[in-house]
Structure 1
Amino acid sequence: MRMEKFAARFFNMTDEVWAKHANPLSVWTRYSCLPLLCIAVWSRDWIGGWALIPGVVVILWVWLNPRVFGKPKTTNHWASKAVLGERVLLMHPKDQIPSHHLRAIGLLKSVTFAGFVLAIYGLVVFHLWFTVFGTILTILGKTWFLDRMVWLYQDLEDQNAQYRSWVY
């Protein structure tokens, strides 16, 4: 959970930013980040040091993404509830999160991390299949994690008036 809290602080996730990030466009366009970053890193083979430019642009996009879309008209979407579930995961006392969610979250983080490490390895050694497979594994792990966040949100929304107020 420490990594999620660090990321929330790094991204300065205020209530307003969380509300904008709950826009499904924010969630779905965020899927572009890892493939674009891989292309930017791989481009060092084609354009040398100039590869830093697309890399910086992608990192800027990662930071801006939760901010550029407006607050959605409704948060009654799978993607919106996935973001709300991530917010619950950060806010809810860990000892009060049902154990079946914690086990699944740990497993899915491991799958996502393994895919990410494989993608990084592929980028370092210019191995296309490691890069592609690692990226796919990372995205699948993250998608399954987001689905678990929807489930977590739905399980805990009735216990907390603030959580319930996020769905409109």
Structure 2
Amino acid sequence: MNQDETQRGGNVFSKLMSMDDATWARHANPWSVWTRVVTGLPIMLLAVWSIRPLAWWSFASVGTACFWLWINPRLFSIPRNTDNWASKVTFGERVWLNRSTCPIPNHHAQWALFLSVVAGVGFLIAIVGAVFNMLLPTLSGGLVSWFGKMWFCDRMVWLYEDMKDVDSEYRSWLSIEGE
């Protein structure tokens, strides 16, 4: 898969989430990042787990979980200080999604794609486990997905640090209270 093909996937995600500049600025709030880290995957897996016991009513819980993932980046104020790990995760994600316009170093692209696959495979295993109410695949897949995503997030911070001086827009996202 080349960078143009992976970029299309990023554009689809951004459009689905309706992430404009204002939303990204609010998502850079560490409260937004950390509440998604702690709640996003467990809420989704619990909602999917409820499909068998709740039948059609479970779609309300799945819809609520999806709504939470969509609304979360919009709930928090724009942070005064973005010189922190959580904010830089969101900056790195923006750099990653913009890689067709402003190319990124190949080693960052390779790691990001690899970790996306790891997190995605773990997520699929967890979803299948949750659909069939099987605890071991749900937990193990969820852990693989979560750790894969966290490692991806850490790589996004590294990507941002390497790219912040390449584009003045990237540098402008960094704000330090008192400066």
Relative to the length of structure 2, the TM-score reads 0.88
Q: Which residue of 1 aligns with 2:130?
A: 123
TM-superposition CA deviations, 1:53-87 (whole Å, max 9, x none)? 22111111111011111101111110100100000
Q: How does 1:15-164 map to 2 (within 5 A)?
A: 15-31=21-37, 32-93=39-100, 96-164=103-171
Quote the Cα distance in structure 2 between the aligned partners of 1:17 and 1:136: 28
TM-superposition CA deviations, 1:33-59 (whole Å, max 9, x none)? 221111112123333322222211111
Quote the Cα distance in structure 1 between the aligned partners of 2:163 and 2:108: 11
Secondary structure at the residue paired with 1:158?
A: coil
1:13 aligns with 2:19: yes
Secondary structure at the residue paired with 2:79?
A: coil
Q: Provide the aligned length of Structure 1 versus Structure 2.
A: 168
Amino acid at match of 2:136: W
TM-superposition CA deviations, 1:99-136 (whole Å, max 9, x none)? 11111112101111110111122123221110111111
* Structure 2: gaps of 5 or more residues: 1-5
Q: 1:95 to 1:84 in 2, by over 3 A?
A: closer
Amino acid at match of 1:23: N
CA contact (8 A) 2:126 2:142 kept: yes
Quote the Cα distance in structure 2 between the aligned partners of 1:28 and 1:95: 28
Quote the Cα distance in structure 1 between the aligned partners of 2:65 and 2:18: 18
Secondary structure at the residue paired with 2:55?
A: helix
Quote the Cα distance in structure 2 between the aligned partners of 1:20 and 1:76: 14
CA contact (8 A) 2:51 2:131 kept: no
CA contact (8 A) 2:52 2:132 kept: no
Amino acid at match of 1:20: R
Q: Which runs of 4+ in 1 moved over 4 A?
A: none
Amino acid at match of 1:14: D
* Structure 1: gaps of 5 or more residues: none
Relative to the length of structure 1, the TM-score reads 0.94
Amino acid at match of 1:160: D
Quote the Cα distance in structure 2 between the aligned partners of 1:95 and 1:27: 25
**Identical pairs, percent:** 42
